[in-house]
Amino acid sequence: MSEQIPPQQQDRQPGVEGEMTPPAEFIRDDYQGSGKLRGRVAIVTGGDSGIGRAVALHFAREGADVVIPYLDEHEDASETKRRVEAEGRHCLLLDGDLSQAAFCRDVVARTIDQFDRLDVLVNNAARQELHDDPEATSDEEWLTTFDVNIHAYFYMAKAALPHLRRSGGTIINSTSVNAYAGHPKLLAYTTTKGAISGFTRALSQMTVGDGVRVNQVAPGPIWTPLIPSTMGQFDTDMVEDFGAQSPMGRAGQPSELGPAYVYLASRDSSYVSGQTIHVNGGMIVNG
């Protein structure tokens, strides 16, 4: 877990797990499921890899079937499906672009077709590009980043809510420590992550009376394909010792995020809505 991360890059985004050195950890061998999500159905966007894959595997070990919308990375997605099935649960893979509202509606419709219920929506897919100066972000990139990172969260929530009201379900959004601490090279991305915080809080207030809870997780530096495919693309040395600046002196593993999502998805958090869990190696941030 404390293995050093060497410089590296991947030349396109989204990145792939197979090219990462060292490989990431998704669920600890000694993580014991206790049926916290038995019989539930969850959508985990971007669940093909990284944090989303860890969430899918923890949910499956807790008894849930999982639907995974993702972009392009069929090998990563197939591997996640294989691991969910190894937990004895079903996994439906849906390849498509979540920035398109029609695809988001289709994801929910196909979930209901196959499983006849929806209990948990995890909005987690994201993109980012690094730049030295604000002017280097093109207007097009700005809009695309918003389309994927926040507009898709809205489209997914809108399509899912009728079903979540029926099941007394929950929504969990992936934001970032950057929304709280800022980031000198990630302007568009950080802005979308701040938008997610406002979205989580307002949506929670709108739906709490319907029995639907909405929370978010704010990860710090986590070892996922997003890092070599975006930071490594910008500057290979930026990946070297990624996370070393956190108080714990290392990057987090996706396996260290999964249990926070289980908590927010399950009845354990039945009195919690509109809140943020910071999983960031000990950084103290406001909010």
Which residue ranges make up the site for ligand NAD (CB under 6 A)? 14-15, 46, 48-52, 69-71, 73, 97-99, 124-127, 148, 174, 176, 219, 221-222, 224-227
In the bound complex, what is the minimum distance in angstroms from residue 176's beta carbon to ligand NAD? 4
Residue least distant from ligand NAD (Cβ): 50
DSSP assignment string, 79-126:
HHHHHHHHTT--EEEEES-TTSHHHHHHHHHHHHHHHS---EEEE---
**Cβ distance to ligand NAD smaller for residue 169 or 225:** 225
Q: Does 14 bind Mg ion (CB under 5 A)?
A: yes
CA–CA separation, 256 and 81 (whole Å): 20
**Cβ distance to ligand NAD smaller for residue 9 or 49:** 49
Catalytic pick among 153, 155, 189, 261: 189
In the bound complex, what is the minimum distance in angstroms from residue 220's beta carbon to ligand NAD? 6
For this structure, is 189 an active site residue? yes
Ordered alpha helix ranges (H), 133-241:
139-146, 152-167, 178-181, 187-207, 226, 232-234, 236-239
Considering only residues 35-74, where is the footprint of Mg ion by CB under 5 A?
48-49, 73
In the bound complex, what is the minimum distance in angstroms from residue 15's beta carbon to Mg ion? 7
For the chain, the residue count is 287
CA–CA separation, 43 and 216 (whole Å): 15
Q: Which does 169 bind (CB under 5 to 8 A by kind): Mg ion, ligand NAD, none?
A: none
52 closest CA partner among 91, 108, 19, 88:
91
**Cβ distance to Mg ion smaller for residue 73 or 119:** 73
Count of H-run helices and E-run strands, the chain = 11, 7
Catalogue the active-site residues. Answer: 189
